Amino acid sequence: MTQSTTTTPPMTTRARNAVLVVFAGNGFMFATWASRVPDFKAILSLTPGQLSLLLLAISAGSVLGLPMAGRLNHQVGTANGVRLGLGIGAPGVALSAIIVQEHGPLWLAAIGLFLLGLGIGIADVSQNLEGTIVERAMGKAIMPWFHAAFSFGTVAGAVTGAIATYLAVPVGIHVSVVAGLILVALCVATTRFTPRSADGDGDDMAQDSDRSARSDMRTAWLEPRTLLIGVLVLAAAFAEGSANDWMAVGFVDGHHVSKALGVVAFSTFLIFMTLGRVLGTRLLDRCGRVPVLRVLFAMAVAGCALVVFGNTWLAFVGAAIWGVGASLGFPVGMSAAADDPRRAAMRLSTVSTIGYLAFLAGPPALGFLGDHFGILHALLVVGAVSILAILIVPVAQPLEVDPTRSTPAPGPRPGLSRVPDAGDGQPPHPPREQARRTQ
């Protein structure tokens, strides 16, 4: 497949490695904070309800950061977007940890967590946008690798947090040191981003005026394809987030296993989801997005059914199948939203905002259902949402931008089986024929 005309292969490789580092570092920082949440609760003597209100500050920050990130990236580029997000989020999480350590006022800790959520929203859209730029330049599907790197980062951060907790390292010192190191390391890593996209003035970034940027942002929320991709990403996020929050509890309460085995079930899900992201890129390149996503969402449905209705051992098998099924929907949705490089920033921001609603609303919704039907049976909602995703998977089919109506795309979008943009008038090429045309 053809390479980007604006980036030499060595630059693309360096940019790919930089994006991997950024994803992993963000995962590490978030997991570092998450691993010390019990300390937040214990030090401030919070009830579960009070802790939920405190954590709501992160959600509020993310809800603000995600939609504004598209316009920011449009104006300043992906590297500066990541730096801005880190510059807001890292001091925010450090502030909250120090306030908690010093038994400071709860409202001030909430402000710190609000800044963390705001920074996460901006940095997340920025790193995903840079990931799609690198993916396009390389001409093959690699977005799942970046999300796998985030998963590896969260595991490393959680393990480090467990060690720090065991050694009784003060929460303020632990979180602040990690946040500072991650801030410096990732700001250095962003210097290896694709040069022109980093500055916000390349083929992969929008060229319009500030007025045009605002118009694009509004229009993105009115595009049926963009909204449906958002629903697809929401379904994938719901399958992932529900397992993150409730799988261990479901095994303990529903299958009556020990808490340790509940953690093993959750770990099984995470391991197989990460493997799916690492190994699934070849399937995407060979078979295309739509067939792969259909099979994976079907696996999520089957895995969910085994977890709920199977015996204990079948439930563990179901956790593994569920993990694979939840592996590619989110990263592939990000790639689909960025098929047209002219409007990638705005569409990614819109899709991310829709998708992250699953992480915000999913846990309490399942908790409410769990109070009435048991948490294990409440997980059946994941299967129902995944069935909906199967029906709308065709919206992820790669979009072929009409070069006569836009700046030329730097390379063919990965995932094969492309769909012409409206007005193109050309049928999609079969995968093998398209590969020969672009060699």
Structure confidence at residue 338 as a pLDDT band (50, 70, 90)? confident
How many angstroms separate the Cα of 92 from the Cα of each of 58, 87, 95, 110, 302? 10, 9, 5, 9, 41
What would the two tokens of residue 291 be? 């067939």
Could you give all domains of the chain from N- to C-terminal order, each with its CATH number?
Answer: 1-205 (1.20.1250.20), 209-403+413-439 (1.20.1250.20)
* pLDDT tens figures, 399-431: 776 544 444 343 444 554 444 443 343 444 444
* pLDDT tens figures, 26-61: 989 988 888 788 788 888 887 766 776 787 888 889
SS (H, E, C) the chain: CCCCCCCCHHHHHHHHHHHHHHHHHHHHHHHHHHHCHHHHHHHHCCCHHHHHHHHHHHHHHHHHHHHHHHHHHHHHCHHHHHHHHHHHHHHHHHHHHHHHHCCCCHHHHHHHHHHHHHHHHHHHHHHHHHHHHHHHHHCCCCHHHHHHHHHHHHHHHHHHHHHHHHCCCCHHHHHHHHHHHHHHHHHHHHHHCCHHHHHCCCCCCCCCCHHHHHHHHHHHCCCHHHHHHHHHHHHHHHHHHHHHHHHHHHHHHHCCCCHHHHHHHHHHHHHHHHHHHHHHHHHHHHHCHHHHHHHHHHHHHHHHHHHHHCCHHHHHHHHHHHHHHCCCHHHHHHHHHCCCHHHHHHHHHHHHHHHHHHHHHHHHHHHHHHHHHCHHHHCHHHHHHHHHHHHHHHHHCCEECCHHHCCCCCCCCCCCCCEECCCCCCCCCCHHHHHHHHC
Q: Supply the pLDDT for residue 243.
A: 84
* pLDDT tens figures, 259-301: 778 878 888 888 898 899 989 988 998 999 999 999 999 999 9
Contact of 144 with 274, CB cutoff 8 Å = no
pLDDT over 80 (residue 172): yes
Q: Supply the pLDDT for residue 437.
A: 38
* pLDDT tens figures, 370-392: 878 888 888 999 999 999 999 99
Structure confidence at residue 434 as a pLDDT band (50, 70, 90)? very low
Q: Supply the pLDDT for residue 262.
A: 82
Q: Supply the pLDDT for residue 59.
A: 81
pTM score, whole prediction: 0.75
Average pLDDT over residues 7-20: 84
Q: Supply the pLDDT for residue 69.
A: 84
pLDDT over 60 (residue 196): no
* pLDDT tens figures, 141-167: 888 999 899 888 888 888 888 888 888
Using the structure block, give the residue that is written with the tokens 């598209």.
70
Q: Supply the pLDDT for residue 49.
A: 66
pLDDT over 60 (residue 207): no
Structure confidence at residue 6 as a pLDDT band (50, 70, 90)? very low
Q: Supply the pLDDT for residue 401.
A: 60
pLDDT over 60 (residue 436): no
User: What is the sign of the dihedral through the CA atoms of 324, 411, 233 and 27?
Assistant: positive
The percentage of the chain sitting over the pLDDT mark of 90, rounded to a whole number, equals: 39
pLDDT over 80 (residue 200): no
Nearest-5° Cα angle at 131, 419 to 201:
90
pLDDT over 70 (residue 75): yes
Structure confidence at residue 306 as a pLDDT band (50, 70, 90)? very high
Using DSSP bridges, classify how beta strands 419-420 and 399-400 pair: parallel, antiparallel or unpaired.
parallel
DSSP bridge partners of 420: 400
Structure confidence at residue 202 as a pLDDT band (50, 70, 90)? very low
Buried b (16+ CB within 10 A) or exposed e, 160-178: bbeebeeeebbbbebbbeb
* pLDDT tens figures, 83-102: 999 999 999 999 999 999 99
Q: Supply the pLDDT for residue 168.
A: 87
* Higher-confidence position of 114 and 51: 114
Mean pLDDT score of the chain: 81
* pLDDT tens figures, 176-186: 999 999 999 99
How many angstroms separate the Cα of 61 from the Cα of each of 111, 115, 202, 379, 385? 9, 6, 29, 27, 26
Range in 36-45, 206-215, 348-357, 359-368 with the lowest mean pLDDT? 206-215
Q: Supply the pLDDT for residue 426.
A: 41
